[in-house]
Amino acid sequence: MKSNFSRIIQGCMNWGKWGSSLSQNEMERLIHFNLEKGITSFDHADIYGDYTTEMEFGKAFKNSSIKREEVQLISKCGIQYVGETRLNKVKHYQYDSDYIIFSAEKSIKDLNADYLDIFLLHRPSPLMHPDEISKAIETLLSQGKINSFGVSNFTDIQTDLISTKSKVSANQIEFSLSHNKPLFDSSLDYMFVNDIIPMSWSPLGTIFKDKDENNKKIHFLLEELMKKYNASKDQLLLSWILKHPSKIHPVIGTVKTERINAAKNSLSIDLSEIDWFRMLETYLGHKLP
């Protein structure tokens, strides 16, 4: 599928109370900065900030004077979160038709957006039914409230289940050098074959968080490659993802302008196949079969 999203997507989970608690002016400036760097796609979910971050972003977006067609807005629904804003007794998933429509309409209103470029089911539910989901998605598509539909954190068979009734255009999964399972469990191959746009959340993985032996070895290699490619470690990790032929869209989560700029510049790194495999084998700690 031809993607209308910027290759690097800006994730907004940390913009509100779950992270940096940016003011409206700070959000507005950050939206403009991303656009200046060619990052025009913004990833949201209804639950971010205990169901408050989309509204805060929407106020900043409305005040920014940016035209709606200049950006692509992604949102997700389905997780009923236990927090301060909803009287949920337990975290669960809800995918009845009325709730899906309610969630999409609320995100559109909160984001001051008129429509969503793509609307994702946030996580699979054991009780989800493709007919019920399809009823909602067909309504939202026919009313022009969403341009396309997708999923997040779904396995291949779960995607197949939903695809029996609704066209799935994207799947946002966890993928990075340190969380490389999708390379080997057919997830990325499945998306390639089925014309589904892959998006990867947490694209830097645990490389800068954990201090295990694998990470020590990969940092040693990255220091060597930094000189070869004149690039930072985070840029090399993003370029490793970008090298994959399925054309993955990394969803970055930073609010720091220098890291946003670095992410944008990772697009120009031409990582060789040998170095791609060196990074993978170094992290795995063994040769590929």
Active-site annotation, residues:
48
In this structure, what token pair is assigned to residue 145? 């409230």
